[in-house]
Structure 1
C-alpha cells in the first residue's frame, strides 16, 4: 500500500454507502479500499497533474479489474468548489447511492474538496443543511476541514438550489 494512502486513508462517512478520503495510487490501495468498504463507484475530484507518471494508469487498471466505475470531476486543490461542480457531484453520486452502490468520493488528501462535495451529497440525500452534513462527516472523519472559501461555495450552491426548488413553475 502506498505511504500516501496509508497516511490519509478513507472513512465511511455515512451508513448509506458514502466513503471519503485520499486518492489511491496503486493496486494495493484499491484492493484495501474495496475489501474494507465494498466500494463499487468512485467520484475522483483530482486533476491529472496531481498524479506522478503512471499512477493514474495503475489505479484505472485496478478499478477495471474490479468492475469499479470511476467518474472524474477535476477540482483545483485548495481552489474554489463552484456551485456547478457541486451540483454535478450531487447529480452523479446521489443516484448511485439510491441504487445501493457504495461510493468513494476522494481528492488528494480527503480533507477539503472531498469533504465539501460529500457534504453537498449528504445535504441532498438526507434533506439537511450543509453545516449538519459536514458535522456528520467530521464526527467520523475529523480531518475533514474544507477551506473557508469552499464552505462559502457550498452555501452559495445550497441557497441557489433551495431557491430553484422553491420557485413556482414557469407558465
Structure 2
C-alpha cells in the first residue's frame, strides 16, 4: 500500500519540489551539511557536472523510484550507492549502516558525498543525520538541529524515527 501511495504521489510531489526549488528558487536543490556531505533533491543528468565541480565524487541515492543519471555519473567519475527506499518511509537500519560506511570510505579518499532522495527532506536526511551521529558524535536531536540549520525544509521529526534511535543506540554501544 505504501508503495502504491508513493507512486501515485511521485509526479505531483516532484513537480511541487521543482516549482519551489528550480523555478521559484524558494528552496535550494541541495545544501552543504559540512565540508564533506551535501544533502539534496534528486539530481538530473545536467547536475552531474555541477556536483563534480563541487568536489562530489560519490552519491548515496535513497530513491526507489529513480535510479539516478547513471551515464552522467559515469562520465563525471562519480560512484553511486543506491539503497532503494519507498518514498515517505525511512531506510532500513541495514541500509543506513551501509550508506554511512560508504560515505566514510568515500570521504576518506577525499571525495565529497551527495546524499539524496526525491526532495532531500526525509529518506536522505535520515541517512545524513545518522552519519552525523556516527562521525560528529552528535545526539540525534543535535544532528536534527544541525540539519535544520543547514537545510531548513528537512523533516523535523527525523530524530524520532525508530531507525535513527536504533542506529544511535548501536553507535553508543560501539563506543562503550
Q: Give the structure-2-normalised TM-score.
A: 0.77
| Alpha-carbon offset, residue 148 of structure 1 | 5.6
The answer on whether the counterparts of 2:59 and 2:115 sit within 8 Å (CA) in structure 1 is yes
Higher-RCO chain (CA-CA 8 Å, sequence separation at least 6): 1
The answer on whether the counterparts of 1:113 and 1:146 sit within 8 Å (CA) in structure 2 is no
| Alpha-carbon offset, residue 45 of structure 1 | 0.5
Determine the C-alpha separation between the residues in 2 that align with 1:133 and 1:100: 23
**Structure 2 unaligned regions, length at least 5:** 1-14
Deviations 1:40-67 (A, max 9, x none): 10111111xx24xxxx47x111111111
- Equivalent pairs, count: 155
2:63 counterpart of 1:46: yes
Q: Structure 1 residues 76 and 93 mapped into 2: Cα distance closer, same or farther (>3 Å)?
A: same
Partner of 1:31: 49
**Structure 1 unaligned regions, length at least 5:** 167-171
CA RMSD, 1 decimal = 2.4
SS at match of 2:39: strand
Misfit runs of 4+, over 4 Å: 146-150
2:75 counterpart of 1:75: no
Q: Give the structure-1-normalised TM-score.
A: 0.79
2:22 counterpart of 1:6: yes
The answer on whether the counterparts of 2:33 and 2:39 sit within 8 Å (CA) in structure 1 is yes
